[in-house]
A and B are shown apart, each in its own frame.
Chain A
């Protein structure tokens, strides 16, 4: 067999993947270190309102309609986006993998019941359901993350179920039954590791989607009122769209770059994890 290039080598073959990774790293660095290096409170009214960005000044990216610093909002918003994106996805993946694995491995009655439940969650329009949940349970980072997880897990469950249905019949799984391996051990050590590749790829896209949903919620005023998020910034800038469009552009571009970079990374991961072209 031709020696396979390592995972990193394959990843670097994708130029968009590398670019995406760099941008994503920058966003993460900004989220982690930004508020420490630039300790301006995003809610504090520190300047005259509606000042345009001018890089040398005290407010390099300008100020919003209430005189809050835009750069500070950007930097703190990164944190919110990433926290919600990652935690919602982690929860969705955990639920989805569990349900998908059980349905796909045991099939029959268990599969039927779990799939009916999955279908119920899948057929409800995602965004509307999130709005309802958040409105009912009061908006906060926690409820938002949970709500997003609740609408996102069905996709993971279906994916994992499909993988389990296929892999379960493979000879290497049967050979584990023959040596007397217990069912939980088979699920965790044999099948699960072999289906993580598509799950990882889906997760990366899910993070992007979660960020977008959160931005949408905040834009509508349903986000956590205690944190400054990019979506909220766009919401605040809505009324001044004609004159101070930088208030919308800056967080908008931030969201777009983050989501795009995650998509690139997801695609590159897909190619790198699945070398069988």
Chain B
């Protein structure tokens, strides 16, 4: 079965004062129908830029994005318009993503108005249906964004994203700005909607823990490249990529506390600038295991286990099929 959305060797660049910055450097991924693909990484990794390129907010320098086999790159804004209903987006900041001067009902109706779907009467009914679907009352339609909390505003944003019956919704850190208990509400809602409507999600997050609950397939990005990608739960319990492992260790986890896990080793250093990445592996400058090979040659994504791909020269597969990292040069790892 072909994927709903495929990216192949996607490159997205920004001009900056100090030169051209390659925010996304030859990234390929597939999003399946009705499933969630999570993209995780820290600042500067390119995850948000990739999302924006897919939805048409950022220009693609090279590579392809295909929606059900149809090529989206290279289309003008006008040509792109007919694909818009299929790919929608929910933004991170609940306080900036709704027009403060429009009523909630109007905000949710707007996509249908723009795409000239239905009549005012049928649209109004659909708005009420959508609000109900996301857990808001009909009275909300007449109110304004400032009257709602962050979590409720995200629900409005979700209702708006659903208005055109999209096949794919890009969720750009939709819960990062919300309190923990509200995060749970919104995440549960997204999962429910996926089950009911068969929508795919591209879920962007900086938090590995959040995505592990809702993603079928997860990729971690570092400086514009994918470091590891897997749809296997086991892989993420002990990720076999030095950076991904460090990222997981750095995320405070209740599981680790329950198991009385000892303090992990801290990853030192800062994320380098993406302007002049090293010729080899992007992570080599901070990696404990780095060898000359790592510094000179960029590691390709290799399938190291079932449904798991890792971009690292040093990861090996044991005879039992387990994936391991090499021992660190200074013994303790």
- Seen from chain A, the residues whose Cβ lies within 8 Å of a Cβ on chain B are 1, 3-4, 170-172, 174-182, 185, 190, 193-194
The answer on a CB contact under 8 Å between B56 and A190 is no
Contact A178 to B88, CB < 8 A, known contacts A3-B147, A194-B99, A194-B101:
yes
Contact A177 to B147, CB < 8 A, known contacts A190-B99, A194-B100:
no
B195 within 8 A of A: no
Chain A residues touching B, majority SS: helix
Quick one: closest B residue to A172, CB to CB?
B99
B171 within 8 A of A: no
Q: Among B80, B88, B115, B149, which residue has its beta carbon within 8 angstroms of that of A1?
A: B149
A4: chain B residues within 8 A (beta carbon): 146
The answer on a CB contact under 8 Å between A178 and B97 is no
Quick one: closest A residue to B89, CB to CB?
A178
Quick one: closest B residue to A173, CB to CB?
B99
Complex Cα gap A4–B55 (Å): 36
Q: Mark B160-189, 1 if CB is under 8 A from A, else 0.
A: 100110000000000000000000000000
Complex Cα gap A177–B89 (Å): 10
Closest CB-CB distance, A168 to chain B, in whole Å? Answer: 12
Q: Among B80, B84, B92, B114, which residue has its beta carbon within 8 angstroms of that of A171?
A: B92
B57 within 8 A of A: yes
B55: chain A residues within 8 A (beta carbon): 178
Closest CB-CB distance, A254 to chain B, in whole Å? Answer: 38
The answer on a CB contact under 8 Å between A174 and B81 is no
Closest CB-CB distance, B98 to chain A, in whole Å? Answer: 6
B110: chain A residues within 8 A (beta carbon): 176, 179, 181
B236: chain A residues within 8 A (beta carbon): none
Q: Give 7 CB contacts A-B under 8 Å.
A: A1-B147, A171-B93, A175-B91, A178-B55, A178-B87, A178-B88, A179-B110
B111 within 8 A of A: yes
The answer on a CB contact under 8 Å between B99 and A178 is no
Complex Cα gap A1–B104 (Å): 15
Quick one: closest A residue to B164, CB to CB?
A179
Sample of 13 further A-B pairs with CB below 8 A, known A170-B96, A172-B96, A180-B111: A1-B147, A170-B97, A171-B91, A171-B92, A171-B96, A171-B97, A174-B57, A178-B84, A178-B87, A178-B88, A179-B110, A179-B164, A180-B81
A179: chain B residues within 8 A (beta carbon): 84, 88, 110-111, 114-115, 160, 163-164
Quick one: closest A residue to B149, CB to CB?
A1
B147: chain A residues within 8 A (beta carbon): 1, 3
